[in-house]
Amino acid sequence: MFSGYRFEMIVGCMSAGKSSELIRRIERARLAYLPTIIVRPATDTRSKPNCVESRNGLASQAIVVDSADEILKYSSHAVVIGLDECQFFEDDIVDVVQNLLRQKKKIIASGLDLDYRGKPFGPVPVLLAMADRVDKLLAVCRKCGSDFACRTQRLVQSQETILVGDAQYEARCIHCFEPPGEYQLRLDLPKTEQAVPQLVLAAMQGVELAS
């Protein structure tokens, strides 16, 4: 019925423009007269009911479901299916996506690839492996201003994997990201201008470089 990829994924940290890219692609399908739906899990309480909203003000109607199987109830007439906030679905989303692909639907899914610890988030890694096309979007780091933010920094103390609310997070680059203690990944990289002299000095002294 249409050419191109059948399962596209848009991932990245918060504020990377994932929902706005999802809405943009769904709008293009609508312009091509393809029946579309956007579905999002009920766990995401930030958007208005029955709506997907991006931070830059785009919005589109959405069906809110409590579980992934419910998607099958609403998708029979749709040719292109948008799935927003995929990290909040349970693992059964993988079977549902496979089922929809067997029905020759086109799926455009978006979600956080990593949680606040910098660990793969829910079913997203499996969906990424299944996707035909993957776009990993970057945000602006709210600490240093670089264009390469790829982590979602939690700004409050909590052990919950899911803690919904934009005010409690900000986008950070890998150098500014501070994961919780037990998963601490120390990246004390020297600044570029300091790196060469230190390396030369270490080599001259025969000192083994710290890994």
Closer CB to Zn ion, 37 or 114, in the complex = 114
Based on the shown chain and the rule CB under 5 A, indicate whether residue 189 belongs to the binding site for Zn ion. no
Closer CB to Zn ion, 117 or 172, in the complex = 172
Candidates 13, 52, 109, 173; binder of Zn ion (CB under 5 A) is 173
- The catalytically annotated residue of 85, 90, 170, 193 is 85
Closer CB to Zn ion, 187 or 209, in the complex = 187
Closer CB to Zn ion, 17 or 41, in the complex = 17
Based on the shown chain and the rule CB under 5 A, indicate whether residue 176 belongs to the binding site for Zn ion. yes
Point out which span in 25-33, 95-103, 119-127, 176-184 binds Zn ion (CB under 5 A): 176-184
In angstroms, the CA 162 to CA 173 distance is 21
Closer CB to Zn ion, 85 or 170, in the complex = 170
Element (H, E) at 199: helix 192-205
Report the site for Zn ion in 94-153 (rule: CB under 5 A).
141, 143-144, 146
Point out which span in 71-79, 108-116, 118-126, 171-179 binds Zn ion (CB under 5 A): 171-179
In angstroms, the CA 7 to CA 126 distance is 13
Number of residues that bind Zn ion (CB under 5 A): 6
- Minimum distance of Zn ion from residue 156's CB (angstroms): 19
Residue 193 gets which letter from DSSP? Answer: H
- Minimum distance of Zn ion from residue 140's CB (angstroms): 9
- Minimum distance of Zn ion from residue 120's CB (angstroms): 21
Cβ neighbour number for residue 124 with a 10 Å cutoff: 23
CA distances from 107 to 8, 39, 74, 140, 165 (A): 6, 11, 14, 27, 26
In angstroms, the CA 139 to CA 125 distance is 20
Report the site for Zn ion in 17-76 (rule: CB under 5 A).
none
Instruction: Identify whether 170 is a catalytic site residue.
Output: no
Tell the residue number behind the tokens 């909590």, with chain if given.
158
Residue 191 gets which letter from DSSP? Answer: P
Strands (E) across the chain are located at 7-12, 36-41, 51-53, 59-61, 63-65, 80-83, 106-112, 133-137, 151-154, 169-172
Which residues in this chain contact Zn ion in the complex, by CB under 5 A? 141, 143-144, 146, 173, 176
Any idea which residues carry the catalytic annotation? 85
